[in-house]
Amino acid sequence: MAIVTEARKKILRAEMKKRLQVTANRRGAMKTAGGQHKNVGSVKGSRYRPTMAGFKGLTKDDRDFIKSERSTNKASGDTKKTYKKAFKLGATSEPYINQAKKDKMKSIKGGGTVGKGTHASGAARKEATAWRRKHVAALKKKHKIGAGSTAEQRTAFKAARGKVIDRHKRMVKKA
């Protein structure tokens, strides 16, 4: 059984802290941008996930160290302090907020806030409806729908519109 060296521990601690800060920055920015910030990084395999998944070259000893270090940090309150500081930075930093505004209506896996039923009621539902209208209007423009449009254009428009409608249904829990 190999032991984790001090140099390796330092690298792992730094990576753990960095991943936690990235998630907190993103959630803070998303809250300021008006999104459902708790959805960010909440799905396995999504961007902005504060886990060590995807960190290359982890041995069993490394994973055991990470597990014990995480519980130690949580018990001591270090995790909460780091998270709150990074959350506040993300909530007040223009570059983070601008990026969050762009990504707000992306899927949770893509770093956004949209999942099945996440926009089922309240202001989120209005936001989902506005998103749908915007995208359908853009498709009308793209496919040149109106007087004089061909059957081929209308067929392509209906197929694309169907995808937007299906995504909207998932967002508001109708599908």
- Closest by CA to 14, choosing from 60, 97, 73, 59, is 73
Q: pTM for this structure?
A: 0.76
pLDDT of residue 150: 93
Longest alpha-carbon distance in the chain: 75
∠ Cα 90 93 99 (to 5°): 80
pLDDT of residue 123: 85
What's the pLDDT tens digit per position in 101-125? 888 888 888 888 888 888 888 888 9
What's the pLDDT tens digit per position in 62-81? 999 999 999 999 999 999 99
Confidence class for position 45, pLDDT limits 50, 70, 90: confident
Length of the chain: 175
- Within 10 Å of residue 172's Cβ, how many Cβ atoms? 19
pLDDT of residue 50: 82
- Closest by CA to 90, choosing from 34, 16, 30, 41, is 30
What's the pLDDT tens digit per position in 150-171? 999 999 999 999 999 999 999 8
Confidence class for position 175, pLDDT limits 50, 70, 90: low
